[in-house]
Structure 1
Amino acid sequence: MAIAPAKLSDPVVSAFVAAVNAHDRDAFLALLTPDATMSDDGTDRDLHEWIDREIFDSGGHMDVQSESEGGRRLVADYRNDTWGEMRTAWRFTVQGDRISRFETGQA
């Protein structure tokens, strides 16, 4: 049973998931620090290129299945038009009310 974004423990991570699922690139970017970084399957990627390809240009959607570490670590069924659906792990580094880094990969 998926956890609704509004029910996630960390409000910044909750807003991240909500922005992904609403395909709201502006809201998503507003949640990131200016120097935010990310990795996919252990390899650092160009954040803007990756989010366009994997989230916003391909209809990305997260169904969160579990959370830990105060809501800063998620396991989600992630789907997009490119890859279909897969079980993914997400880890967030939050500074104040913004995300400075997120890491994702297959779970």
Structure 2
Amino acid sequence: MSEKLTDHAVLAFVTALNAGDRAAFRAALTDDAAMSDDGTERDLGDWTEREIFSSQGHLDTDSLESVADGGRSFVTTYSNATWGGMRTRWHFVVRDGKIARFETGQA
């Protein structure tokens, strides 16, 4: 994964997400982090609990379709127990070494 995703903040986010590690995930985010899903602003805590942690969310980093913006944007398969697998895009805004915002959605 690190060969394609080179931004340390994004790597911390993805690693924590795939490990289901809530504490490490929160530590990868700024205190005021925000996010959107398919262009709609979402409550970060509610969304991540529902779409990631309670449903065993997983980003397939072995099959990244594309990586851009220094590793801050990529397309790959995201899967969870609720929706199954789907092709998704991810874009991250990094501030002070942490994720300040991420945007995701179907690709």
What SS is found at the alignment partner of 2:60?
A: strand
1:38-97 deviation digits (Å, cap 9, x = unpaired): 000000000000000000000000013121000000111000000000000000000021
Task: Note the C-alpha offset of 1:103.
Answer: 0.2
Could you list the runs of 5+ residues in structure 1 that have no partner in the other structure?
none
What SS is found at the alignment partner of 1:14?
A: helix
Q: Percent identity?
A: 58
**Letter of the 1:75 counterpart:** V
Q: State which of 35, 40, 43 in structure 2 corresponds to 1:38.
A: 35
Q: Please say if 1:100 is aligned against 2:97.
A: no
Could you list the runs of 5+ residues in structure 2 that have no partner in the other structure?
none
What SS is found at the alignment partner of 1:59?
A: coil
Q: State which of 60, 68, 73 in structure 2 corresponds to 1:63.
A: 60
- Map 1:5-84 onto structure 2 (within 5 A): 6-7=2-3, 8-64=5-61, 65=64, 66-84=66-84
Task: Note the C-alpha offset of 1:9.
Answer: 1.1
TM-score (norm 2): 0.93
TM-score (norm 1): 0.93
| Number of aligned residues | 103
Name the Cα RMSD after superposition: 0.8
Structure 1 stretches of 4+ moved >6 Å = none
